[in-house]
């Protein structure tokens, strides 16, 4: 059938990957550093990927293509979700719950007191760095997504930071590199009940938000906060620039 579908100009694509995360159907992937439409039947033709492309490499075209297969898309999402749930989380809070639920012997005081040992990370030992006194860059209170009011005055013209709460502990320069000049909202999609997307949608819809930065950990469960932001951006009815940074468990910013 002939229908509207996206076209990606590989010469214009810089491989940033924003279109991959913007595509909820999983139709786009990075192949050898370039975005590619992997499956025609996964592309719904709505073009959520268009506004996030910084180079204008994505356009619409009408051509012969397989019909959009919503059933196949949903099955793929469910398979990916199940695979993510089977992966070890790595979050200290999650391990604490598993200890309580399953009667696992807690770590001994000797292990816990060893420098750099962190529950939920396979007791990796990280190199300690000298402490440096730094000023807080926090500009508002509260910071929890559940507690912040939707129509707070500090949202006017704000650059928004939505961060998984572990990121501030894992990344030493978090305030200077991420919090500075932003309004900060934090949460944990693994431990908090409910979905943040509805609250975030209301904040984006009812305020003049200039940009959104998402900071999450590399562990699979942390993808929930990224997905909530993407859903809010899609539902708010606005074109708002956004980006995602991923922090490793040993405190590095990973390439995405």
Distances (CA, A) of 191 to 40, 92, 106, 123: 37, 11, 20, 21
Mutual angle of helices 223-235 and 197-206, in 10-degree steps: 40
- Range in 45-49, 143-147, 161-165 the model is least confident about: 45-49
Confidence of residue 30 (pLDDT cuts 50, 70, 90): confident
- In CATH terms, the fold of domain 153-254 is Rossmann fold (3.40.50)
| CA 8 to centroid of chain Cα atoms | 24
pTM of the model as a whole: 0.53
Q: What is the pLDDT of residues 218-251, one digit of tens each?
A: 988 888 999 999 999 999 999 999 999 999 999 9
Which residue carries 């990344």 as its tokens? 171
Q: What is the pLDDT of residues 165-200, one digit of tens each?
A: 999 999 999 999 999 999 999 999 888 877 899 999
The domain spans of the chain are: 2-72, 90-128, 153-254
Angle (CA) 44 18 54, round 5°: 105
| Contacts (Cβ under 8 Å, ≥6 apart) of 156 | 207, 208
Residue 215: its H or E element: strand 211-217
- In CATH terms, the fold of domain 2-72 is Alpha-Beta Plaits (3.30.70)
Q: Is the pLDDT of residue 8 over 50?
A: yes
- Count CA atoms closer than 13 A to 14's CA, side-chain side: 8
Region 135-153 average pLDDT: 91
* Region for residue 15 given its phi and psi (left: phi exceeds 0; alpha: psi -120 to 50; beta: otherwise): left
Q: How far apart, in whole angstroms, are the C-alpha atoms of residue 175 and residue 133?
A: 12
Q: How far apart, in whole angstroms, are the C-alpha atoms of residue 205 and residue 233?
A: 9
- Coil, strand or helix: which one is 254? strand
What pLDDT does 192 receive?
82
């Amino acid at each position: 059938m002939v229908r509207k579908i996206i076209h990606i100009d590989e010469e214009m694509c810089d491989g940033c990957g924003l279109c991959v995360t913007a595509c909820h159907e999983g139709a786009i992937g990075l192949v050898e550093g370039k975005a590619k439409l992997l499956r025609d039947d996964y592309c719904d033709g709505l073009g959520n990927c268009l506004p996030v492309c910084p180079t204008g490499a994505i356009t619409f075209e009408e051509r012969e293509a397989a019909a959009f297969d919503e059933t196949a898309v949903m099955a793929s999402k469910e398979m990916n979700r199940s695979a993510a749930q089977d992966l070890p989380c790595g979050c200290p809070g999650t391990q604490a719950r598993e200890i309580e639920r399953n009667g696992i012997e807690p770590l001994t005081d000797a292990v816990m007191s060893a420098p750099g040992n962190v529950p939920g990370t396979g007791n990796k030992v990280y190199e300690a760095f000298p402490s440096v006194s730094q000023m807080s860059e926090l500009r508002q209170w509260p910071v929890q997504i559940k507690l912040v009011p939707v129509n707070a005055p500090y949202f006017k013209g704000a650059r928004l930071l939505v961060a998984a709460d572990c990121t501030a502990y894992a990344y030493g320069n978090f305030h200077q590199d991420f919090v500075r000049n932003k309004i900060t909202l934090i949460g944990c999609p693994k431990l908090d009940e409910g979905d943040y997307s509805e609250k975030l949608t209301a904040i984006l819809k009812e305020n003049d938000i200039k940009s959104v930065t998402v900071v999450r950990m590399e562990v699979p469960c942390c993808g929930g906060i990224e997905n909530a932001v993407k859903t809010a951006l899609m539902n708010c009815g606005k074109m708002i620039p956004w980006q995602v940074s991923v922090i490793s468990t040993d405190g590095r910013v990973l390439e995405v």
